[in-house]
Amino acid sequence: MAERSSTLVTASPGACLQRQRHRQWLSGCDGATFEALVERYGAALAQLPARPARVLLLEPRPYRFLAALLAAVAADCHVFLGNPCWGQRERAQVGRWVQPDLTLGALPLAPRTGGEPRPAIAARAARVAIPTGGSSGALRFALHSWETLMAAAAGFARYWGGVPAHTLDVLPLYHVSGLMPFLRALVTGGQFAAMPFKALTPQRRAAIAPEGQFLSLVPLQLQRLLEAGAGTWLARFRAVLLGGAPASAELLAAARAQRIPLAPSYGMTETAAQVAALAPAAFGAGCNSSGGALPHARITVRDGSGAVLPPGRTGTIAIRASSLYLGYYGESGSPPDPFLSDDRGYLDAAGRLHWVGRRSQTILTGGESVAPEEVEAALLETGLVSEACVVGLPDPVWGQAVAAAYIPRSPQVTTERLRAAIARGLSACKRPKTWLALERLPRTDRGKRDRTRIAQLLERGRS
């Protein structure tokens, strides 16, 4: 098993495709057609004069997206994964920052200009830049190598016994949570199907035989499926991997009652998705943790000074893993060792991780990370408000809901006007669901915005 895991880590995109040749492993796309797409993208990339070229991948069609990714890695390009549904604010930021040599997809971006230097990427080998939310208020790209992504896939394979990772993927491919299921299937010889979550209608679910397959969901999606009466269908999967945000005890109890083989997990963009997972049998027996570390990772919990805390003590979740990212695009330095996450949790006596929540003000809503500062900046840019404060409110469906308190510049400024003003500039997940107009924002004795008090006012306003 260890020898096979080592082979997975070193396998190139071409070698992975070679092993899948003559298998009908892609649902809705013939294997030969997929390989031809990879070759066609590879030929286009070979014509680019820049070495290594920077490619921005915004292709909305899943198998074209994946074929372009494999071709870019094989050609030693630096490939930036992008959301085809980005708002104007995000599009403008990425266009100025990345200045791609080639954009694949229909999304218009500002053209590259020779007078604006691009942040350097020291490596000559391919880097896969995966977008991630942060507490700085700006989009960040975590840089991975093909080897770090393969290390994550190999660790997953070892944890689940080395069997082919047959997968139904309903998460966005530009997210690490949507990308890694494809790579796991690719390197383990598994079958793979991609479709938007919204396409999982009762009719579509009836046509899918989930036996032996993995399905990854965020808590919001699991709740939606349970509300739609899909519990019996979910119970037929080999495992339903749940991550992206801590799940409520009520949601976990509902899944357990319907005998869903849930595998609560923990990971992030910086770790190439999962570094911990709970076996479905342990979940069924009543455990609500995120499980123990996968074979390629080691997890500790640290206090403010960096000291390792004993079991049961809550602190910062720290990670060492062969799948760890290599740094952030445009930022100098390598990740600290160990990598200190933005999350708080504790380990129990059996070494299982219990994820408590965030350390920073970053909002986790429906599996998406939202930086309050970015939403606040978008509100101020409308010119309709003099001040704004954005917080996350506890929500039984979304985990957290984005909420905004603001000071209008005139009595004519309404919530409806603000909604319309930011609609084109921000992705839907970043737009506030709760609004509150105030004459002034509460402040602490040091003059800072009192986010706790503001959250209380917003909570009171929505009840």
d(CA 185, CA 177): 13
pTM: 0.83
Could you tell me the two tokens for 108?
A: 């218009």
Neighbours of 64 (CB within 10 A): 18
Give me the phi and psi of 98, to 5 degrees please.
-80, -40
| Listed residue (290, 277, 275) closest to 323, CA to CA | 275
Distance of CA 363 to the CA centre of its chain: 13
What Rg value do the Cα atoms of the chain yield, rounded? 22
Domains of the chain: 2-358 (3.40.50.12780), 363-462 (3.30.300.30)
Joined tokens for residue 198 = 């919204």
Looking at residue 294, the DSSP 8-state letter turns out to be P
Per-residue pLDDT of the chain (463 residues; tens, 9 = 90+): 444 555 556 678 888 888 888 888 999 998 899 999 999 999 999 999 888 999 999 999 999 999 999 999 999 999 999 998 887 777 788 888 899 999 998 655 544 555 568 888 887 788 999 998 643 445 789 999 999 999 999 999 999 998 899 999 999 999 999 999 999 999 999 999 999 999 999 999 999 999 999 999 998 899 999 999 999 999 999 999 999 888 888 899 999 999 999 999 999 999 999 999 999 999 999 999 999 999 999 999 999 899 999 999 889 999 999 999 999 999 988 899 999 998 888 999 999 999 887 777 888 888 788 888 889 888 988 999 988 999 999 888 888 999 999 999 999 999 999 999 999 888 888 999 999 999 999 987 666 788 889 999 999 987 5
Whether the CB-CB separation of 188 and 167 falls below 8 Å is answered with: no
286 by Cβ neighbours in 10 Å (0-12 / 13-18 / 19+) ranks as exposed
Name the packing angle between helices 2-10 and 146-159 (round to 10°). Answer: 150
Convert 177-189 to b/e letters by CB count within 10 Å (16 or more is b).
bbbbbbbbbbbbe
